[in-house]
Amino acid sequence: MEPFGICRFCDIVLGEYQYNEIDEPFASNDAFFAIASIGPLVEGWTLIVSKSHQLSMREAYDRPMLADFLGSVLPPLIRQYGSLIARIP
């Protein structure tokens, strides 16, 4: 296996998937993407990741683009898996 970059999520933005289809986003927009978590605590656990390298998503919480992205990603997840167990404060 070829070595990847320092940040797994930045590699995903570049289309370089260390874990093949597991790393392939199932939803994205210009600023964020969603992938299934590796080794989730519950089925359907999803990671929402910024396409720009961030140490924390905290600054993105107030961005309208994140709210729009969540609005498109959450309904199918809720239909498939039921209620949410975590949400942005």
Could you report the per-residue pLDDT of 48-77, keeping only the tens digit for each? 999 998 888 888 888 899 999 999 999 999
Say whether pLDDT at 28 is over 50.
yes
Paired residues of 48 in beta bridges: 34
Residue 87: pLDDT band by 50, 70, 90 thresholds?
low
Measured distance CA(2)–CA(66) in Å, rounded? 33
pLDDT at residue 1, rounded to an integer? 41
The CA-based angle 88-34-68, given to 5 degrees, is 55
